[in-house]
Amino acid sequence: MPSLLHHPLDPASRIARLMLAEYGVPVDLEEIKPWLREAEFLEVNPAATVPVLIEGDVIVAIGPLASIHAIEDSYSPEAVAGLFPTDAAERAEMWRLFEWVAVKFNDEVTRYFIEEKIAKRDQRGSTPDTGVLRAAKANLHEHILYFNWLAATRRWLGGDTMSLADFALAAHISTLDYLGDIDWGTAADMRDWYSRIKSRPAFRTLLNDRVIALPPQKGYADLDF
């Protein structure tokens, strides 16, 4: 059984966990707080990012991109469609949207919520910077307008087929939803899309996540939210 160094609310770790669950691969999870930059972890990954995929005592893939590719290469079943579309145009659209989420959305939204609301809990005397959170929330609103438009005009984020782009966005949205930062009232189409993703068996593992002394908002695990 592979194991994964991860953090339960880290979106990149969540993408890897969703992929493994979708492909029916059980995994041993080992929690890391990457922001603590512990010496032992920096030896594994000097970039201090999660996830890291390990099989036996071999480190198979270090960091988000390498892990995603390793999981797709090793575990994507031959018999059914994987999360990387076979059609070239759909695959290009998947990478465009994956990058939107993993780079742009992360850079403008998610990483601020993680830094202020999660990482700072481990810095004694430190409190969330409300100015930063306000700016991140304004950015989030702009992004949700775009995601909601995509959800309104397509079945899945990239088109007719569910792909890694859906898992990437769902991973980020689920972290923000855990923290209570998604205003579902203003995003009906995205809500419908998220409800379909959330109902998949692969999603169950994420919905059971709990971080000590940081409970999820109450609709987090509800399929009817």
Q: Which residue ranges make up the site for a second copy (CB under 8 A)?
A: 46-47, 49, 60-66, 69-70, 73-74, 88-89, 91-93, 95-96, 98-100, 103-104, 107, 146
Write the secondary structure of 134-186 as one string of H (helix), E (strand) and C (coil).
HHHHHHHHHHHHHHHHHHHHCCECCECCCCHHHHHHHHHHHHHHHCCCCCHHH
CA atoms within 13 A of residue 212's CA, in its CB half-sphere: 4
Nearer to a second copy (CB atom), residue 61 or residue 170: 61
Tell me which H or E stretch contains 113: helix 111-113
For a second copy, the closer CB: 31 or 99: 99
Q: How far is the CB of 70 from a second copy (least distance, A)?
A: 5
Closest to a second copy by CB, 100 vs 167, is: 100
Look up residue 108 and give its DSSP letter: I
Please report how close the Cβ of residue 61 comes to a second copy at its closest, in angstroms: 4
Say if CB 81 and CB 94 are below 8 A apart: no
Minimum distance, C-beta of residue 120 to a second copy, in the bound complex (Å) = 20
Nearer to a second copy, 96 or 210 (CB): 96
